Structure 1
Amino acid sequence: MFLNNFWRQVIILSSLVILASLFFPSGESLKYSYQLNDIPREPIIAPFTFPILKSEEKLKTDLEEALSSEPFVFKRNKELVKKWTNSLENFFLLSEDIRQTKDQCLQSKDLIYRYRYDANYEMILSDYKTDSTKLSQLVLDIENKYPVSVQETPWSSFLDVEYQSGIQYDLNEFETIIIQICRNRWAEGIYDIPRTDIISEKIMMIHQDEVPFMANPDEYHDLESAWIRAKQELTQSYAKTDEDQYTTGYALIVEFMKPNLIYDKETTERRQQSRLSKVSRFQGTILKDERIVDANERIIEDVLLTLESLANAIDEKEGKKTGLQAFFSYLGRLIVIGAIISFTFTFIGVYRMPIFQEWKMIFLIALVLLVELVLVYLLVIQLGFSPYFLFLTVLAMTLTILFDARIGFMGTTSMAILNAVMIGNNLDFIIIGMTLSSIAMYNVRELRTRAKVFTTIFSLLFISFVILIGLGFFKGNPWSAIWIDLLPLLITSVLAPVVTYGLIGLLEIPFNITTDLTLIELLDFEHPLLKRLQQEANGTFNHSIVVGNLAEACANAIGAHSLLCRVGAYYHDVGKMVRPEYFIENQFTGENKHDTLTYVMSAKTIKNHVKEGLELAREYKVPKIVRDFIPMHHGTTRVEYFYRKALENAEDPVKVDKKAFQYPGPKPNTKETG
């Protein structure tokens, strides 16, 4: 019978247990899960021979040394030098053409003026036009090919026939100096990557048709240092007072002096990976039956690393088990995980049956639990983040806001135990996680304002200080260790409420859940439906506000959801705005529309406000939990006034149809709608 009614829930919970088992450590390895400064009651003896893993710091150092010992490979490219040298020479040829053409233009222009009345004027004018066209084309060419603007300084002076002072540029000398400076740098060698990216102690230089050789990386330039060295050499050739010529020269060097030492990334990375693969991940061996630590001895860092290595070796052996041995090991894991998770779902099945009957709600809770479990596995176990980046707090607040504090507490309890086992039977994690989660749940159990976000943050910050310092004092931890654990807790305290509020917005709509945050928004008098009610049926609007105050007070007295009662009261009579004049609270003129209707028609008109209210609520997307107040606040009662009038005026009261005066229902099914 149970499976027939709840087969979806069974599938969801079974899937949750199976998926959770994928991230769970083996049971045998948990026997060797200790924390720094723990004191074992019995001696710990190695059950088999296993290697000792290097610490993260030691392994990182060894890997960095391996990378630095593998030379970066560079190839000297002579063809690039030829290419950029030719480009620079072509630039100067084009510049010389422009200067000569400018000179011809100036001469032609002068001749036009001098021979304006001469018989050869037309021929001279034609020559000037030809020279001008040629000059325009040359200017267009140089501006398209190079980052040069002929109209701007210093290029206007450089390409002019005469310098501003009247001294003409000697382009041949200028070209020789610039090309020589570039060749000097190419001869020294220019990397095509920043020098800071070269982490090796040596580099391998490969010349065309030459044997590769090793060199010091500092013997060569990267592009930035090559520009600096070129600028120094340029300063020796041209005084800084000749600003235009100096600026032009440096601009040409930056444009044409390109790298000629090309980084062979593929070869370098292949050699680096080969070198890294040879770095041992181990730093020693523990033999079978060797004592790791004696009874009543403090576990120091070296011993803790040895125990972690043993747990890792056990997990590897677990993965190699076959047959019945592997089956029973996995079965035991499923039973343990199932028992821990059952804390939450047994509570829901016993005390929150309406939620358990909705398989979508069970799926949502299972999804939240699984996501938290996966995050702990990925970030804490795989990536080595602190376990005190508490995703548990987000889970607790999410379940509390979506459902209630009791479900939030049970879910948090299950996940705190699972997380603690996953990260090595960490009792501190359970104490800190449950304490902070309880404070978070207390703060969000009844949401009325957005200011609760800040209240929650400050509460978590304060409790983080208190609980972690208390644990540190109790265990005798130094202040340095306390501060290391405190930082992730403080970050969690600030981010967890913000993340939770964002997460709630994502989950409300697809799972059709109405949280207190949504109810608060529905209380806003600027809501379109309430605004219409206020404008079209003001008497009903005022009546709803009064009923809301009364309903909230009554709900508080009987332990019902007071916020939901107030919201339901605001919207319970929205259907009256369709025919407001038929309801007494809106009859301000003294005229009563019912005087012209039969008692049955009057009752029908009154009853229709339920149907019309539901239609309006659906149109304005009012949540179902609030829509339920519209039909349930009357239930299946009668429109008593008109029913009594019909009885009084009927020839045969027995023939009066009671159903014509009865509301369609349904009856209230919760304390709030009642």
Structure 2
Amino acid sequence: MKIPSLKISSLFPKDLALKVLMFLVIPISVVVLFPSPYAFEYKYEVGSVWLYDDVVAPFSFPVYKDEKQYQDEVKSVYSKVYFIFDVDTQVYRNQVREFEDFITNLKSYLDLKKSYQVKINRGVSTSSLKQDSIEIERLKNLLLEKVNVYELEKIESLNKIGYFEIGKFKVLGQAYLSMIYQPAGVLSIPRANLNRNEIVLRKGKFEEIYKEGKFYDLSECWNLAKDFVRKNFSEFEEVDTAGFDLVAKIYYSFVRPNLIFNEKETNDLIEREKSKVLKTVGVVRENEKIISKHEIITPEIYLKLESLKKAQKERGIGTGKILKDLGRFILTGCVFAIFWIYLYMYRKRIYFDNKLIALITALFLFEILLAFLVGKIKVTSSDVNYLVLIPTFSMLMTIIFDSRVAFWATSVISFITGFVLGYSYDFAVSSFVAGTVAIYSVRSIANRMQIFKSFVFIFFAYVFVVLGFSFQKYESVNYLFVKLGFVTANSLLSPIFTYGLLIFFERIFGIMTEITLLELSDFNHPLLRELQARAPGTFHHSIAVATLAESAAKAIGANPILARVGAYYHDVGKILNPEFFIENQMESDKLHDSITPEQSVQIIISHVEEGQKLAKRYKLPSEIIKFIPMHHGTTLVAYFYGKALKRRELKDVEIEESNFRYKGPKPDSKETAIVMLADSVEAAVRSLDDKTPENIEKIVEAIFENRIEDGQLDESNLTFKDIEEIKKTFIQMLVNLYHPRVKYPAQEEILKEKSERTPEPKAKSKKRTRKVKNGGD
């Protein structure tokens, strides 16, 4: 199964909507990829030299402090603000009361359990014991709110051996609570959250500042409890040190914060104090000079530059930004439109071919994207802009199209990249000059390697422009060498990128460049080698046709290389049946005498279709393939048509003239028309017996007249002036080629002897003369 191939030309319909879309791609890309045209996008730092033009304030704006300085001042304010706490005067009294209730319950519990045990030992009635048991359980449950079962048992054991005196436990507990709640109390937040060691206590309408040592957080209260117990219950060391932690835990369990952090009031106070910290350190007035070119950037100037950038961004919000983007879109569109107008006025073939317009758009996008990427390089010098490879763009446009198209495209891309990269006049001019020199370096290119010779031209073009600007600005030698370093990189990279991208675009867009034509003109091409081996007469005929076509194309301003290469391949279809064509036949060959004129003409005409198949198999460009059918157009194979007419007179058979005509199409360009005429003229003149200038001129005039009357040149865009120039060129070249030469005596004797031995048959002479009159094949 044969898979149909998709031609890229089918992806580019010739409609206006697609053309408009491709036009809009460039200004839209500029708007999207680059900042607003009046945004402050220079690269600079404190201590560096200002390399750009003088900066004057376009409007008045405040000078903002350095962000780090501002944040440090804010932190300083934060550290000076007192945290506000509201005092809950009920907490201390409630906690003391809870502690006393606990002590009362604990004493009752211990006493009741002791009494319960005595009653058991005495054998008191069960009903009495039951009441005591209920009361003990009730008290136990109350106590378990502060201690667990194990701790309660520990208290009982210590109490039994006389080491847990309730009275002392109560007095010291009250002392502990008094110690932490007087004179301030316990914080509701950890001390680590405080910004300083003083706080403000608010009691109603009154506020008082308390310093560290007069208030505690919960973790400090726990540590105080442990220290307090160890100091006052030293007897536990004799029995069980675990008693320390038990008593400390009980005391601590009655601690509750009484100093409640007022977060809202505190934050409000902080914000009020922050608002007093100024973000600005002054004002720059409208039209005030901020910095001059080559001035050192001081911290003060740096702040002004940063403030200008911020002010411009703030002014670009909303409608302002939209207007700026719209302005940038219009500016880019106007510049780009100049190039499109040129194409419409002088390169209609390109303008009306959306495939070629898409290729041009892709080349512009490549440069714009490259400018975007270079602009993202984080350096303070604008010299990195020289890495935008404008010469690559110029050389590609020249090789793919022509030098004039490339010149206009280079002018436009230099303007566009110049203003998107910070309105750099230096860069725009140097890019234009280097790009133009690059155009002329590949204007008449002989092979792909010539691209790399452009390095020298590009390098010196950049050097002279850079030196010109540097000398005017009194730039330092070190700075000049930095520039030249980037210029050298550009000069080296431009040919490399050109070579790589040229192959890429040739493959993707299916285009044919002059380099492609030069490669196809090499006689070592496999198809030409095969033509030379199998049909040598056709091969030499093709070379002769190519010589005529190239000279004629030069004379009328057509593409001489295209005409020459098209002529090389126009008859490759004769490879399959070379012996049926006169230029490949020996004197004794009479293949056509053994078949009918209808069969002969089919063999002759089939070389067109076979040639197209061979050309596609060898992957020749479509611009070359079209020479194969167009060099015959829809002309009549007159010789065999004449034989068929004679046969009709003898056998009364019906003859259709259309069966003896080539299928076409007719030539649709000057180059294909030139090859058609050169092919007919060369074959006719070659067949003449007497190649005098008069006979040559007559046969050329006759062939030209025949092709015009037959309408074969109607679609070729040739003017009458062009036709006259082509005719004149053909006659001059053929006369020079076949002018009489001096015969040396030895040559005359040999020719005379040969003539006497092998006289030319009359029938053969008549046949060849008839072919000449009909133009041959």
For 1:312, the equivalent position in structure 2 comes to 309
Q: Determine if contact 1:416/1:430 at 8 Å carries over to the other structure.
A: yes
Q: Determine if contact 1:33/1:425 at 8 Å carries over to the other structure.
A: no
My pick for the range that moved more, 573-582 or 546-555, is 546-555
Number of residue pairs the alignment of both structures matches: 442
Residue correspondence of structure 1 range 423-442 to structure 2 within 5 A: 423-442=421-440
Q: Determine if contact 2:569/2:628 at 8 Å carries over to the other structure.
A: yes
Alignment CA distance shift 1:11-1:463 (3 Å) = closer
Match of 1:343 among 338, 363, 373: 338
1:595 aligns with 2:603: no
Alignment CA distance shift 1:449-1:469 (3 Å) = same
For 2:297, the equivalent position in structure 1 comes to 302
Alignment CA distance shift 1:593-1:406 (3 Å) = same
Is the partner of 1:424 in helix, strand or coil?
coil
TM-score (normalizing by structure 2): 0.52
Q: Which residue identity does 2:613 align to in structure 1?
A: E
Alignment CA distance shift 1:308-1:671 (3 Å) = farther
Q: Which residue identity does 1:333 align to in structure 2?
A: R
For 1:535, the equivalent position in structure 2 comes to 533
Cα distance in 2 between the residues matched to 1:381 and 1:335: 24
CA displacement at 1:316 relative to structure 2: 2.5
For 1:127, the equivalent position in structure 2 comes to none
Residue correspondence of structure 1 range 188-207 to structure 2 within 5 A: none
Cα distance in 2 between the residues matched to 1:5 and 1:400: 26
Deviation readout 1:222-271 (Å, 9 max, x if unpaired): xxxxxxxxxxxxxxxxxxxxxxxxxxxxxxxxxxxxxxxxxxxxxxxxxx
1:391 aligns with 2:389: yes
Residue correspondence of structure 1 range 154-169 to structure 2 within 5 A: none
Alignment CA distance shift 1:498-1:53 (3 Å) = farther
Cα distance in 2 between the residues matched to 1:53 and 1:599: 97
Deviation readout 1:387-440 (Å, 9 max, x if unpaired): 112321111112222222233222222221111111222111121101100111
Is the partner of 1:388 in helix, strand or coil?
helix
Q: Determine if contact 2:374/2:388 at 8 Å carries over to the other structure.
A: no
Alignment CA distance shift 1:298-1:554 (3 Å) = same
CA displacement at 1:301 relative to structure 2: 4.1
Q: Determine if contact 1:461/1:490 at 8 Å carries over to the other structure.
A: yes
- Answer with 1 or 2: which has the greater Rg: 2
Cα distance in 2 between the residues matched to 1:405 and 1:659: 44
Is the partner of 2:670 in helix, strand or coil?
coil
Deviation readout 1:49-74 (Å, 9 max, x if unpaired): 244899xxxxxxxxxxxxxxxxxxxx
Cα distance in 2 between the residues matched to 1:377 and 1:51: 30
For 1:84, the equivalent position in structure 2 comes to none
Q: Which residue identity does 1:668 align to in structure 2?
A: P
Q: Determine if contact 1:349/1:356 at 8 Å carries over to the other structure.
A: yes
Cα distance in 2 between the residues matched to 1:308 and 1:399: 41
1:48 aligns with 2:45: no
For 2:404, the equivalent position in structure 1 comes to 406
Alignment CA distance shift 1:307-1:643 (3 Å) = farther
Q: Determine if contact 2:634/2:664 at 8 Å carries over to the other structure.
A: yes
Is the partner of 1:651 in helix, strand or coil?
helix
For 2:370, the equivalent position in structure 1 comes to 375
Is the partner of 1:49 in helix, strand or coil?
strand
Residue correspondence of structure 1 range 18-57 to structure 2 within 5 A: 18-29=28-39, 44=57, 46-51=59-64
Cα distance in 1 between the residues matched to 2:493 and 2:505: 18
CA displacement at 1:497 relative to structure 2: 0.8
Q: Determine if contact 1:292/1:306 at 8 Å carries over to the other structure.
A: no
Alignment CA distance shift 1:308-1:489 (3 Å) = farther
For 1:606, the equivalent position in structure 2 comes to 604
1:354 aligns with 2:319: no
Q: Which residue identity does 2:310 align to in structure 1?
A: A
Q: Which residue identity does 1:476 align to in structure 2?
A: Y
Match of 1:332 among 302, 320, 327: 327
Q: Which residue identity does 1:348 align to in structure 2?
A: L
1:566 aligns with 2:564: yes
Q: Determine if contact 2:534/2:575 at 8 Å carries over to the other structure.
A: yes
Cα distance in 1 between the residues matched to 2:544 and 2:347: 32
Q: Determine if contact 2:550/2:561 at 8 Å carries over to the other structure.
A: yes
For 2:636, the equivalent position in structure 1 comes to 638
The structure with higher relative contact order (CA 8 Å, sep 6+) is: 1
For 1:11, the equivalent position in structure 2 comes to 21
Alignment CA distance shift 1:333-1:607 (3 Å) = same
1:673 aligns with 2:672: yes
Cα distance in 1 between the residues matched to 2:401 and 2:18: 20
Deviation readout 1:447-502 (Å, 9 max, x if unpaired): 21234124211112222222222222234333333222111111211221121111
Q: Determine if contact 1:293/1:299 at 8 Å carries over to the other structure.
A: no
Cα distance in 2 between the residues matched to 1:471 and 1:668: 53
1:479 aligns with 2:477: yes
For 1:293, the equivalent position in structure 2 comes to 289
For 2:502, the equivalent position in structure 1 comes to 504
Cα distance in 1 between the residues matched to 2:350 and 2:65: 50
Cα distance in 1 between the residues matched to 2:470 and 2:429: 13
For 2:358, the equivalent position in structure 1 comes to 363
1:460 aligns with 2:470: no
TM-score (normalizing by structure 1): 0.60
CA RMSD of aligned residues (A): 3.5
Cα distance in 2 between the residues matched to 1:434 and 1:45: 30
CA displacement at 1:339 relative to structure 2: 1.3
Q: Determine if contact 2:572/2:614 at 8 Å carries over to the other structure.
A: yes
Q: Which residue identity does 2:357 align to in structure 1?
A: I
Is the partner of 1:287 in helix, strand or coil?
strand
Is the partner of 1:591 in helix, strand or coil?
coil
